[in-house]
Amino acid sequence: MYYGRRPQQGVYNGGVPTTLRASDIPAAVDEILTTTPFVDIHTHLFPPSFGRLALSGIDELLTYHYLEAELFRFSDVRPDQYWALTTPQRADLVWKTLFVENSPVSEATRGVIAVLTAFGLDPAARSLVGFRRFFVAQDSTAHIRRVFELAGVSEVVMTNDPLDPEEAPLWESGAIPGEGFRPSLRIDRLLNEGTWTAKDARQLLETWSRRIKPVYMAVSLPDSFAFPETNARTVLLREAVLPLCRDLGIPLSLMIGVRRQVNPDLRSAGDASGRADLRALEALCGEFPANRFLVSVLSRENQHELCVYARKFSNLLPFGCWWFLNNPSIVEEITRERIEMLGTSFIPQHSDARVLEQLIYKWRNTRRTLAPILANAYRTLARDGRVVMRDEIRRDVERLFRGNFAAFSSQL
Ligand code: RAT
Ligand code: ZN
CB-facing half-sphere around the CA of 147: CA atoms within 13 A: 26
- pLDDT category at 14 given cuts 50, 70, 90 is low
Q: Tell me the CA–centroid distance for residue 354 and ligand 2, in Å.
A: 8
Ligand nearest to the CA of 219: 1
- pLDDT category at 9 given cuts 50, 70, 90 is very low
Ligand 1 lined by 323 (C-beta under 6 Å): yes
Q: Where are the alpha helices (DSSP H) in 123-240?
A: 129-136, 140-151, 168-172, 188, 198-212, 232-236
| Residue 363 clears pLDDT 70, i.e. is over it | yes
Q: Tell me the CA–centroid distance for residue 56 and ligand 1, in Å.
A: 17
Ligand 1 lined by 220 (C-beta under 6 Å): yes
Of 245, 242, 216, 217, the closest CA to residue 228 belongs to 242
Q: Tell me the CA–centroid distance for residue 230 and ligand 1, in Å.
A: 27
274 CB neighbour count, 10 Å cutoff: 16
Q: Tell me the CA–centroid distance for residue 255 and ligand 2, in Å.
A: 9
| Rounded Cα gap, residues 302 and 272, in angstroms | 15
CA angle 15, 16, 18 (to 5 degrees): 115
Determine the residue of 322, 323, 324, 326 to mutate for testing ligand 1's pocket, defined as the one with the most ligand atoms within 8 A of the Cβ atom. 323
| Residue 184 clears pLDDT 50, i.e. is over it | yes
| Rounded Cα gap, residues 182 and 178, in angstroms | 8
| Residue 18 clears pLDDT 90, i.e. is over it | no
What is the crossing angle of helices 279-287 and 303-312, to 10°? Answer: 20
Of 223, 218, 222, 193, the closest CA to residue 205 belongs to 218
Ligand 1 lined by 268 (C-beta under 6 Å): yes
What is the crossing angle of helices 390-398 and 358-383, to 10°? Answer: 140
Q: What is the structure's pLDDT at 16?
A: 65
Q: What is the structure's pLDDT at 15?
A: 59
Contact between 39 and 1 under an 8 Å Cβ cutoff? The reply is no
Q: What is the structure's pLDDT at 276?
A: 98
Which amino acid, one-letter code, is at 48? P
Q: Which residues are 319's β-sheet partners?
A: 347
- pLDDT category at 193 given cuts 50, 70, 90 is confident
Which amino acid, one-letter code, is at 346? F
Q: What is the structure's pLDDT at 2?
A: 37
Mean pLDDT across the stretch 276-305? 98
Q: Which residues are 185's β-sheet partners?
A: 160, 217
Q: Tell me the CA–centroid distance for residue 159 and ligand 2, in Å.
A: 8
Contact between 361 and 53 under an 8 Å Cβ cutoff? The reply is no
| Residue 325 clears pLDDT 90, i.e. is over it | yes
- pLDDT category at 94 given cuts 50, 70, 90 is very high
Cβ partners under 8 Å of residue 86, min gap 6: none
| Rounded Cα gap, residues 396 and 379, in angstroms | 15
Of 119, 122, 121, 60, the closest CA to residue 94 belongs to 60
Length in residues, the chain: 412
Bridge pairing between strands 272-273 and 258-259: antiparallel
Cβ partners under 8 Å of residue 210, min gap 6: none
Q: What is the mean pLDDT of the chain?
A: 95
Ligand 1, residue 66: give the atom nearest the CA.
Answer: 3
Q: Tell me the CA–centroid distance for residue 42 and ligand 2, in Å.
A: 6
- pLDDT category at 3 given cuts 50, 70, 90 is very low
Ligand 1, residue 326: give the atom nearest the CA.
Answer: 1
Mean pLDDT across the stretch 318-322? 98
Contact between 390 and 32 under an 8 Å Cβ cutoff? The reply is yes
Give the Å distances, CA to CA, from 14 to 5, 10, 18, 389. Answer: 20, 7, 9, 14
Q: Tell me the CA–centroid distance for residue 44 and ligand 2, in Å.
A: 6
Mean pLDDT across the stretch 366-381? 98
Cα 118 off chain centre by? 21
Ligand nearest to the CA of 323: 1
Ligand 1, residue 323: give the atom nearest the CA.
Answer: 1
Q: What percent of the chain has pLDDT above 90? A: 94
Longest dimension (CA), the chain: 65
Reading phi first (left if > 0) and then psi (alpha if -120 to 50, else beta), residue 323 is in left
| Residue 5 clears pLDDT 80, i.e. is over it | no
Q: 87: which DSSP letter? A: H
| Rounded Cα gap, residues 120 and 20, in angstroms | 36
Ligand 1, residue 188: give the atom nearest the CA.
Answer: 12
44 CB neighbour count, 10 Å cutoff: 17
Mean pLDDT across the stretch 238-250? 98
SS3 136: helix
Q: What percent of the chain has pLDDT above 70? A: 96
Cβ partners under 8 Å of residue 209, min gap 6: 185, 244, 248
- Burial classification of residue 175, based on how many CB atoms lie within 10 Å of its CB (0-12 exposed, 13-18 middle, 19 or more buried): middle
Determine the residue of 65, 352, 354, 362 to mutate for testing ligand 1's pocket, defined as the one with the most ligand atoms within 8 A of the Cβ atom. 352
Does the predicted model carry a pTM greater than 0.75?
yes
Mean pLDDT across the stretch 320-335? 98
Ligand nearest to the CA of 272: 1
Give the Å distances, CA to CA, from 317 to 100, 113, 124, 152, 409. Answer: 42, 33, 42, 23, 11
- pLDDT category at 216 given cuts 50, 70, 90 is very high
